[in-house]
A = this chain, B = another copy of it.
């Protein structure tokens, strides 16, 4: 028994291929080759190409990873909390860059599944932030904003920064630049929501 089973290897290979070329441009032959198995073996584990895709969506979704972002915010001030969350969020996206790419390119093709993943993802993130804001609201005299809108704005800055650099421009952002940008975003945002 290998460290990763044949099925695992196929799903991983599919993940890599789909993220590089998209679903339609990836052939089952290619997936098999990447996985280091024969095409026939591939079809012994999955009866259709679509099944491979769906299995891959399940296994590589970043929904579970999201929980790693959750932090203990008691005792830490809001500024540091936001910075920490921003960094963790960005790194999560980086770690699952391939998955992000797949989601972007297959929204049309597998819209139901992807809408599902994305909406769960956003709900979790937003409610995480909102509960943090709520716990700090009395300490810091925040404006009476719609917290959900505020959360969307904050997440949006970081998400968009990620998309622009990593997905569109394919430009690596080094840690120093990332930290500067995140610090600026947090500063703007925090100042913005304070009374």
- Which B residues lie within 8 Å of A109 (CB)? 21-22, 25
- Which B residues lie within 8 Å of A170 (CB)? 111, 115
- Asked if A101 is at the interface of the complex by the 8 Å CB criterion, the answer is yes
Instruction: Mark each residue of chain A from 1 to 45: 1 if its CB lies under 8 Å from any CB of chain B, else 0.
Output: 000000000000000000111101100000000000000000000
> Knowing A24-B22, A107-B105, A108-B105 touch, does A185 contact B118 (C-beta < 8 A)?
no
Cα separation A194 to B188 with both chains bound (whole Å): 9
Q: How near does chain B come to A173, taking the closest CB pair, in angstroms?
A: 12
- Asked if A53 is at the interface of the complex by the 8 Å CB criterion, the answer is no
> Knowing A188-B145, A189-B192 touch, does A101 contact B105 (C-beta < 8 A)?
no
Stretch in A66-74, A88-96, A131-139, A146-154 with 4+ CB within 8 Å of B: A146-154
- Which B residues lie within 8 Å of A22 (CB)? 22, 24, 105, 108-109
Q: Is the CB–CB distance between B108 and A107 below 8 Å? A: no
Q: How near does chain B come to A111, taking the closest CB pair, in angstroms?
A: 7
Cα separation A187 to B193 with both chains bound (whole Å): 8
- Which B residues lie within 8 Å of A152 (CB)? 157, 160-161, 164, 181
- Which B residues lie within 8 Å of A180 (CB)? 146, 149
Partner of A101, one of B107, B159, B167, B185: B107
- Asked if A104 is at the interface of the complex by the 8 Å CB criterion, the answer is yes
Q: How near does chain B come to A171, taking the closest CB pair, in angstroms?
A: 9
Cα separation A115 to B164 with both chains bound (whole Å): 10
Cα separation A191 to B160 with both chains bound (whole Å): 21
